[in-house]
Amino acid sequence: MMMTTGRAASWGVAPFRAVACALVVAAALPMAESKAPLMWPLPIHEGCTSSFGEFRSTHLHMGVDMRTHQEEGWPVFAAGNGRISRLRREPVGYGRVLYLDLDDGRTVVYGHLCRYSRALGLEQRLQEACAAKNSSFPGDIYVSPPASVKRGDIVAYSGQLGIGAPHLHFEVRQGDDACDPFTEGLELPKGMEAPVISGVAFVPRDASGEVDGSFRPACVAAVAAGPGRYRLSRPVTLSGAVDLMLSARDHLGIPDNSTGLSKVSALLDGTRFFSMDLGCISFARSPYFRA
């Protein structure tokens, strides 16, 4: 049996049935799937504090949160060539938002900004919208004609509006879906390494399940077996219906950080019996995922 993960963290649950196994697990960095590379949108590569697909109280996290050293005011760059046609100012949620429509049809969303680019006329557009609606929170603001930008142009400045600590929320959308920015071609944070797998728990699902001849769950540590590869510290004998729980974490470029699992597959004698790949998540389905 083998298990592989993309970016990984915390606990994943994979129901399965098997009889006796020596488990091998492997972890890997994400692979961009022939998508146009996306520029890291900050001048500092300090990793991410939250990953794509993490559980929130009422939905899934639809982007990644980039560290800004608890500071506001870092320039935010266009991740690719495109046009800015929409801004949004709201009291909660993403606070100040900028939508960049890339030339390839995808949309990049930046959240919690403190200010838009004056050079592009965006800050003026917000002030006009506030005056027109006599409100500090005018909601959606459509930029017409759209502001054309090149990859690397400054489009805004990072902040903390709409939420607590300063950071940059970065999201990639395709139609009605949000997609993992790292599999969409976003540069990896400096210092990013493959996920770390710490162990597997085997839990009898019902009266038919046994682990090492017992109805009690067993937690078995994973030990390094090569770069990005792990094996169980001891063999485990299973029978009946047994659930498998993986303990793994991904620091996303920040030591001691632990972020959510985005991709897992499990193979028994070379045949995949379970897989999870958050990849892209529709906004319509996100509220159905609850922590």
Q: Which residues in this chain contact Zn ion in the complex, by CB under 5 A? A: 65, 169
Measured distance between the N- and C-terminal CA atoms of the chain, rounded to whole angstroms: 28
Q: How far is the CB of 86 from Zn ion (least distance, A)?
A: 18
User: Looking at beta carbons only, is 169 or 173 nearer to Zn ion?
Assistant: 169
Which residue sits closest to Zn ion, CB atoms considered? Answer: 169
Query: Could you tell me the smallest distance in angstroms from the CB atom of residue 144 to Zn ion?
Result: 28
Minimum distance from residue 162 beta carbon to Zn ion (Å): 10
Q: CB nearer to Zn ion: give 247 or 262.
A: 262
**What does the buried/exposed string (b/e) look like for 29-44 if buried means 16 or more CB atoms within 10 Å of the residue's CB?**
ebebeeeeebebbbee
Asked if 244 contacts 200 with a C-beta cutoff of 8 angstroms, the reply is yes
Shortest distance, position 21 Cβ to Zn ion, whole Å: 38
Q: Which is nearer to Zn ion, 46 or 212 (CB)?
A: 46
- Minimum distance, C-beta of residue 167 to Zn ion, in the bound complex (Å): 7
Q: What angle do CA 38, 41, 46 make, to 5 degrees?
A: 110
Angle CA 48–71–153, to nearest 5 = 75
Residue 105 CB partners (closer than 8 Å, separation 6+) = 174
Comparison of 117 and 160: residue with beta carbon closer to Zn ion: 160
Taking alpha carbons only, the member of 185, 203, 247, 280 closest to residue 27 is 247
Closest C-alpha to 106, from 60, 63, 49: 63
Between 4 and 160, whose beta carbon lies closer to Zn ion?
160
